[in-house]
Structure 1
Amino acid sequence: MTNHINTLSQRQLKSVQTRNKLLGAARKVFIDQGFQKTTITQIIKDAELGYGTAYVHFKNKDDILIALIEDVMNQFYKIADLPFRPTTKDEAERTIRKQVGSFLELAKQEQRILAVVEEAIGQSPIVQAKWNDIRERFVEGIAKDITYSQENNLAYPDVDPLLAGKGWFYSNEMFLWEITKRDGKMNLEDIVHNLTTMYVRGLYK
């Protein structure tokens, strides 16, 4: 029984290592070649794995990119999911400013793979659907924070949390893509200041 468990553990470990090897190779190839020019054959070759082994883990290059997107977005989710329980407008503004700064700074750090994602959104229905799911998760979280602020008499009650949440996320998303295109030439502090100021003054009392 013990040997059986050890064998399973070794197999599982090898499977994880193989998957990670594929993802590491894929990230490199996608960044070097872009989404359209990348082929799963290139990724498999770069990972130095057999075709059969690779297809156990992923169906195609779209599937591989989605796995990379999930890895990157988990970092963004950690920022978005930070506790939001301000008791004053000033506290809300400080928290929002910090979140926006962290969000856009992370976009700058991950700009090369995000550029691939942006390209893929326009070419792959599967990747586009994945990105729409990501948008919804962010919007729902923002709407929840807005509802909290309204319930605690910090934000105007006549604002629809979901619509405001969409507007807020799309504003941040716009600059996320701008950052991926400008190769770090945008002033993040200016963007964070203006985004936060417009949002807080428009929503909070």
Structure 2
Amino acid sequence: MENRNIEDKRHLRSLNTRKKLLEAAREVFLQEGFQKATISQMINKAGIGYGTAYVHFGGKEDLLIVLLEDVMERFFDIAEVSFLPKSKQEAMEIINKQAYAFLKMAEAERDMMQVFEQAIGVSSLVSDKWKTIREKFIGRISTDIAYSQQNGLARSELNHEIVARGWYFTNEMYLWEIVRNEHHGSVEEVATTITSVYVTGLYL
């Protein structure tokens, strides 16, 4: 039992160290940007030893990837919303709500997303991670389209995987425009417009 308690305390301390380091990394990335940020700055800010830090993360890219996964998990929660429409109108309402929530999240997370965009441009590790996340979204959209096709709501002659990629990339393009503050019109207007074009082309 004594050993178990020691193990539990170690595990807790380890989780605490990891959390401290991630919080420090987030602050340093936001302050310095991806390229200028160093793991030394993060370790100093977290107030932990170098050896301890490297037990948890191999470098700043590893830290950024965990932060990226955390943020994108919240985006994915939007994609995971139950999609069982009974009509074209109902499908449009759900899709519009999802597109709006997705783009609104980009606006809310703008500062951190700017750091992710820098990292995707210069780090193959982060870029590969982004591609993996992207495929997860496309897979989910593809399932929703297939459901609509099987239920006679959407055009069955269209390849649902290709359509899914098109819809995802439309959203991603606007996501980055919002992150860069280059979007035209409000987030609501963008979501409504792209949803209307997408649903009109796909649904019967």
TM-score range, shorter chain: over 0.9
| Other structure's SS at 2:122 match | coil
Aligned to 2:167: 168
User: What is the rounded CA distance, in whole Å, between the counterparts of 1:180 and 1:158 in structure 2?
Assistant: 35
Aligned partners of 1:108 and 1:184 also within 8 Å: no
Q: Specify every segment of 5 or more residues in structure 2 that has no aligned partner in the other structure, as ranges.
A: none
Match of 1:26?
25
Residue 186 of structure 1: how far off its partner (Å): 5.1
User: 2:89 aligns to what?
Assistant: 90
1:6 aligns with 2:16: no
Q: Deviations over 1:95-141 (max 9, x none)?
A: 00111111111111111111111111110000000000011000011
Which residue type is aligned with residue 74 of structure 1?
E
User: Structure 2 vs 1, CA of residues 9 and 203 (structure 1 numbering), >3 Å: closer, same or farther?
Assistant: same
The question of whether the paired residues in 1 share the 8 Å contact of 2:20 and 2:46 is answered with yes
1:183 CA drift (Å): 8.0
Q: Could you say which residue in structure 2 is the equivalent of 1:189?
A: 188
Matched, 1:66 2:50: no
Q: Does the Cα contact within 8 Å between 1:179 and 1:186 map onto a contact in 2?
A: no
Q: Aligned partners of 1:7, 1:194: CA distance in 2, in Å? A: 58
Letter in 2 for 1:137: K
How do 1:192-203 residues align onto structure 2 when only pairs under 5 Å count? 192-203=191-202
Amino acid at match of 1:76: F
Instruction: State the TM-score, normalizing by the size of structure 2.
Output: 0.97
CA contact (8 A) 2:174 2:183 kept: no
What amino acid does structure 1 have at the position aligned with 2:36?
K
Report the Cα distance in structure 1 between the residues aligned to 2:102 and 2:21, rounded to whole angstroms.
Answer: 27
Counterpart AA for 2:54 = Y
**Partner amino acid, structure 2, of 1:79:** I
Determine helix, strand or coil for the equivalent of 2:53: helix
Q: 1:147 to 1:185 in 2, by over 3 A?
A: closer
RMSD: 1.3
Cα shift at 1:177: 0.6
CA contact (8 A) 1:22 1:47 kept: yes
Relative to structure 1, the CA distance from residue 123 to residue 204 in structure 2 (aligned partners, 3 Å threshold; closer, same or farther) is: same
% identity of equivalent residues: 46
Aligned equivalents of 1:180, 1:160: Cα separation in 2: 31
How far did residue 178 of structure 1 move? 0.8
Q: Do the aligned residues in 2 keep the contact of 1:108 with 1:179 (CA within 8 Å)? A: yes
Give the superposition deviation at 1:196.
0.6
3-state SS in 2 of match to 1:129? helix
- 1:159: which partner in 2? 158
SS of equivalent residue, structure 1 residue 84: coil
Whole-Å separation in 1 of the counterparts to 2:128 and 2:51? 27
CA shift digits 1:175-196 (9 cap, x unpaired): 1111111189851111111111
